[in-house]
Amino acid sequence: MNYDRYFDAALADVKREKRYRSFVTLERDASRFPHALWHSPEGPRPVIMWCTNDYLGMGCHPAVIEAMRDTAARLGVGAGGTRNIAGTSSPLVALERSLADLHGKEAALLFTSGYVSNQAGISTLARLLPDCLLISDEKNHNSMIEGVRHSRREKIIFRHNDLGHLEEILAAADPARPKVILFESVYSMDGDVSPIHAICDLAERYGAMTYLDEVHAVGLYGERGGGYAQEVGAAHRIDIIEATLAKGFGCIGGYLAAKANVIDAIRSYAHGFIFTTALPPAVAAAALASVEVVKSGQAIRMRHRAQVAQVKARLAKAGIPVLDGDTHIVPVMVGDAQRVKDASDRLLDVHGIYVQPINYPTVARGTERLRVTPTPFHDMAMIDHLVGALVETWNALGLPRVAIRSAA
């Protein structure tokens, strides 16, 4: 049997479609975020990161680094077991308490990652509800889709942010049947937001539970960084909030926050929670430090918004096509897999700017883009540099200056 040909054929497919992924090896400079060294084929070169999901630079915050270092020195490195067997460390318990408080919920539950929290959380929730109907936004993240699939419950997809379509589905369903509406607050590739209050209105009218992914909003929105639902005063209306510690909080791990009985039931039944080693205490301590810093003041969020607004205004003035949205995500549209790769390569090679191309299947074909994420630490000189580099790249490669809509 020649097994090689299957792997080689699969690789040839992604290469032919111009979406073979090459990773850029980086060495972040924690004392000079968002500076990094790129380990290029010709040796190390300084670059500015313009596509990090460490949206607030919290992964490089001195208090966060110190919490990890200090806790590792005192409590050791690994967790030493699952939550049930020796793995429930005191920093982890403190972190769950802090996250519940962040969202104004009774309890929170930590997972290995945001991905696992969605996959295990949604599938377990759905299996705890007899004959549950899952109603899911079409743009939901792959981890939510995997949670739905794994639940083996019936699912219906509603058109992205389409309240009319959502209501049709709710109205047609048996009123006695358990239903869960699954959606995100900030959609990470287009940078648009969902109508949270209106979705909660429908959920209340038709007796559905709500499950909200706040992965791209925690730390960044809300008066305490509790997410977009907190920003618009809707957090108390959401039954289950899911988020990550790996983006706005700059660490690793995912979680759910909800009523105590919901969390306790998921804790008791979710295989993706039960049968895996707990997060290490030093990771939990770092995340806790990050959450506490982010909770304690609006200054970092205000600075973040100011820098995002600057980038958007400057790109608009320069005629670089940016997808409209109300958030910190700045999608610069190219609309072709090869050309977005060329643009990204040129920005890195010629300008020392690192922004990764975003391709199918992450976004629809024909909507390939550079996803720019300004942080509070991108100063005016860096923004000038970015805009100049994009203009040079657009001219050199003859890239489109007309806006490309994101396919629904």
Ligand X SMILES: *Cc1c(COP(=O)(O)O)cnc(C)c1O
List of residues contacting ligand X (CB under 6 A): 113-115, 118, 141, 143, 184, 188, 213, 215-216, 244, 246, 254
| Rounded least distance, CB 140 to ligand X, Å | 8
Q: Which is nearer to ligand X, 136 or 393 (CB)?
A: 136
| Rounded least distance, CB 129 to ligand X, Å | 22
| Residue 15 annotated as catalytic | no
Q: Which is nearer to ligand X, 351 or 369 (CB)?
A: 369
Cα 106 to chain centroid, rounded = 24
| Rounded least distance, CB 117 to ligand X, Å | 8
Could you please report the per-residue DSSP string of 139-191?
A: T--HHHHHHHHHHT-EEEEE-TT-HHHHHHHHHHS-TTS-EEEEEESB-TTT-
Residue type, 48: I
| Rounded least distance, CB 215 to ligand X, Å | 4
Q: Which is nearer to ligand X, 251 or 311 (CB)?
A: 251
User: Considering 15, 247, 312, 317, which one is annotated as catalytic?
Assistant: 247
Q: Single out the residue of 29, 31, 103, 53 nearest to residue 250, CA to CA.
A: 53
Q: Which is nearer to ligand X, 184 or 368 (CB)?
A: 184
Measure the CA–CA gap between 142 and 343, rounded to whole angstroms. 26
Q: How many CB atoms lie within 10 A of CB 142?
A: 12
Chain residue at closest Cβ approach to ligand X: 114
Q: Which is nearer to ligand X, 114 or 374 (CB)?
A: 114
Q: 107: Cβ–Cβ under 8 A, 6 or more apart, which residues?
A: 96, 100, 257, 258, 259, 260, 262, 263, 264
DSSP letter assigned to residue 23: P
Q: How many CB atoms lie within 10 A of CB 254?
A: 26
Alpha-carbon torsion (375, 212, 225, 87), positive or negative: negative
Q: Catalytic site residues? A: 247
